[in-house]
Amino acid sequence: MPKWSDIPWAAIVTGLVAVYGAALSTYNLRIQRKKDKRSLRLEFAFAPITKQGKKISQGLLFHISNDGHRTVFVDQVDVLVGRKYRFDSFEVDPPLPCELKEGQALVAWGAHMNSQMSCKTRDSLASYN
């Protein structure tokens, strides 16, 4: 068994401090990246669409909020069903395009898969190649 005085304590302590510093730096980097990235929270529900107090159809209600620390620019609200259909006839408050600052939200609503909601096939959209 080696003597305690023969162990290179300076090298061991230096190594432990270096490992601790690297772990702390990596942790801080991950926290900062998470804080800086854009983060939207999407909640949706099926809700009745009414006209003059009478239910006329079933609809979708979206609540989109900015949970991140960066401003997010929203220019459209679409629902893709599978790879074939895109529904984009939603009324939005505030009107689009809009900026959502930290903590702000927007609400979108529209009829659900019936004649009141426009449906475009993916093949007919110029933005999808």
- Rounded to 5 degrees, φ, ψ at 107 are -125, 135
Q: Could you tell me the residue ranges of all domains in the chain?
A: 4-35, 38-124
DSSP character string of 22-83: HHHHHHHHHHHHHHHS--EEEEEEEEEEEETTEEEEEEEEEEEEE-SSS-EEE----EEETT
The pLDDT of residue 23: 96
How much is the average pLDDT of 50-67? 80
Q: Residue 67 in contact with residue 39, Cβ under 8 Å?
A: yes
115 or 38: which leads in pLDDT: 38
Is the pLDDT at 20 greater than 90? The verdict is: yes
Structure confidence at residue 30 as a pLDDT band (50, 70, 90) = very high
The Cα–Cα gap between 33 and 69 comes to: 11
Query: Residue 4 carries which DSSP code?
Result: G
Instruction: Please state the pTM of the whole predicted model.
Output: 0.57
